[in-house]
Structure 1
């Protein structure tokens, strides 16, 4: 329970930082929302993108995954959100490095800005949140009580093993006779007559 709460807080903080990052400076004072998402695959240009068509779009998708992951306590969704944020941020850095020739880090609006730091930090927080979360608790199946093994008035127990090729079929009855007796009979053709009773 505690792990889920801490992991959810980290994940939501990471998603917030990622969504906020395009509204900060990314490179040479240019905000992240000015970079079109298709430029990440075709090459960086100086054209200004629309907000919903900018790099903000994948971060909004990552935030949606984070909310779903927190609600359903899914570590997989939160980790996937972190990978989306880090993946698009690193891809942007590669494309800007190709366009500029190299990446620089500096102050006064030169080089990488704090928006990139927010995005990278948000992705790391999302992955940490997924690691901390314990996920859903599995319910344990309750086994039934064992069936009685002693005979009852209804008959032998279901798993009675007395019915076999080496057992008499009546041996498993609850009150079956355990011993048989031979009663002598008199045959007039073969035996002598019994002595008279006195």
Structure 2
């Protein structure tokens, strides 16, 4: 956030300096707004150009790119604006050098003026602003909670955890219950391990809730009568 603000300040300062530079003296006291834009391709003349067809046009376009780049936090647009300003300034210097035979810097105002310095400084500030800005990618990289939380504040499901399996069977998992026990638990009162139905003595209490089993001893006489039939009365 701080880098974007600092870069935006540098970029806006550079765009302002570039837009104001055509209203300053560029060479021999002649302002930049007096140079027609087509003279950069056909040759410098002494004719006075229209305001919106002078060097002001590319610099105004660079200022528009700067505003859009600052709003969108786009380093590419801000850097492109700086290249436009520097490119047209250097191109103008080449054309004026061809027309005048050489370029001079004199203190009496007969050489390069402060308008050229403003244009060059504005282009450099635009490039510095593009370098300082972190851009949209830097902003997304700092959003740590977004890696685990959605835009609506809803947390993503966590990965399933691994559970250690107990000695008697497989551990619990998604959609499965505990495994069967292989080692029966012995009775703390001394009963042997195993099925209590098999180890229970006749007539003892059934721990599963069934009725107690009762046994009756049949006398030998009644058992013999039941086999041979009823005896004589």
Q: Which has the higher contact order (CA 8 A, sep 6+)?
A: 1
- The 5-angstrom pairing of residues 1-198 of structure 1 reads 1-136=1-136, 137-138=139-140, 139=143, 140-142=146-148, 144-149=157-162, 151-152=172-173, 155-156=175-176, 174=177
Distance 1:141 1:37 in 2: 51
By percentage of residues, which structure has more helix?
2
CA distance in 2, matches of 1:104, 1:129: 30
Q: Distance in 1 between matches of 2:178 and 2:93?
A: 87
CA radius of gyration, larger in? 2
> What is the alpha-carbon distance in structure 1 between the residues aligned to residue 85 and residue 116 of structure 2?
11
> Which stretches of structure 1, 4 residues or longer, exceed 3 Å deviation after superposition?
148-152, 174-179
Cα shift at 1:147: 2.5
Q: How far did 1:177 drift?
A: 5.2
SS in 2 for 1:26: strand
With 137-146 and 123-132 compared, the bigger mean Cα shift is at 137-146
In 1, Cα distance between equivalents of 2:2 and 2:161: 43
Moved more, 104-113 or 23-32: 104-113
Q: What secondary structure is seen at the aligned counterpart in 2 of 1:41? A: helix
TM-score normalised according to structure 2 size: 0.64
1:176 CA drift (Å)? 5.8
SS at match of 2:26: strand
Matched with 1:171 is: none
Normalization by structure 1: what TM-score?
A: 0.75
CA distance in 2, matches of 1:144, 1:94: 64
Per-residue CA shift, 1:13-47, capped at 9, x if unaligned?
10000000000000111100011111111111111
Structure 1 176/68 Cα, relative in aligned 2: closer, same or farther at 3 Å? Answer: same
* Cα distance in 2, alignment partners of residues 107 and 100 from structure 1: 18
The answer for unaligned runs of 5 or more in structure 2 is 149-155, 164-171, 183-233
Deviation at 1:3, TM superposition (A): 1.4
Q: Take 2:178 and 2:73, find their aligned partners in 1: how far apart are those partners?
A: 59
